[in-house]
Amino acid sequence: MSIPGHGEDDPVVVVDAWDGPVTFRTSSINRPLAVPERLWRVEPTATTGVVALPSHLFWSPAGARFDLSDRRTRRLVYSTVMLEGRPEDVAEYVDGELLDEMWDDELWPRDIGDFWRPAVNAYREASAQS
């Protein structure tokens, strides 16, 4: 499978995660990205609190804290987790509803836009039917 503009074949590996399959896609810089098939809701108290990301996600400065109630900060955290995170990181930090609310208004890195768009669209379709 080839992603337009990425130039190389994009190997796709699907694994089962907590709430459905996660596909590992290859980013434009040849790093694996964990992309869920669909989005979910995160515990409400975890979606707008202050978090310190683990060092494998955000290594500088150590102990930096992020206020997820601030939309710009939340977008930074989501981008970081979506580009650097393992499936369990994505499940812990990325809330489907909040991602959907920000999706059209933000400029996402190309790999996020290319690979996450189907999950966001599926979330929107499911939300419209509920």
| H or E segment to which residue 32 belongs | strand 32-36
pLDDT digits (tens, 9 = 90+) for 27-80: 998 989 999 888 888 887 788 899 999 999 998 877 789 999 999 999 999 999
- Distance (Å, whole) CA 89 – CA 97: 17
Q: Give me 102's structure tokens.
A: 């920000």
Overall number of domains in the chain: 1
Q: Does residue 33 belong to any structural domain of this protein?
A: no
Q: Give me 15's structure tokens.
A: 């694994």
Range of the domain at 123: 39-129
Q: Is 69 helix (H, G, I), strand (E, B) or coil?
A: coil
Q: Does residue 46 belong to any structural domain of this protein?
A: yes
Q: Give me 57's structure tokens.
A: 């996600």
pLDDT given for residue 100 in this prediction: 95
pLDDT band at 2 (very low <50, low <70, confident <90, very high): very low
The residue behind tokens 């489907």 is 96
Q: Does residue 90 belong to any structural domain of this protein?
A: yes
pLDDT digits (tens, 9 = 90+) for 71-124: 999 999 999 999 999 988 998 999 999 999 999 988 899 999 999 999 999 999
Q: Does residue 23 belong to any structural domain of this protein?
A: no
Q: Does residue 25 belong to any structural domain of this protein?
A: no
23 forms beta bridges with 14, 35
Q: Does residue 68 belong to any structural domain of this protein?
A: yes
Q: Does residue 121 belong to any structural domain of this protein?
A: yes
pLDDT given for residue 107 in this prediction: 84
pLDDT given for residue 6 in this prediction: 39
Helix, strand, coil: what percent of the chain each, to 5? 40, 20, 40
Q: Does residue 16 belong to any structural domain of this protein?
A: no
Phi and psi at residue 23, to the nearest 5°? -105, 135
pLDDT digits (tens, 9 = 90+) for 6-23: 344 544 444 445 567 888
Which pTM was predicted? 0.81
Show Cβ contacts of residue 42 under 8 Å, excluding neighbours closer than 6 positions.
Answer: 91, 92, 93, 94, 95
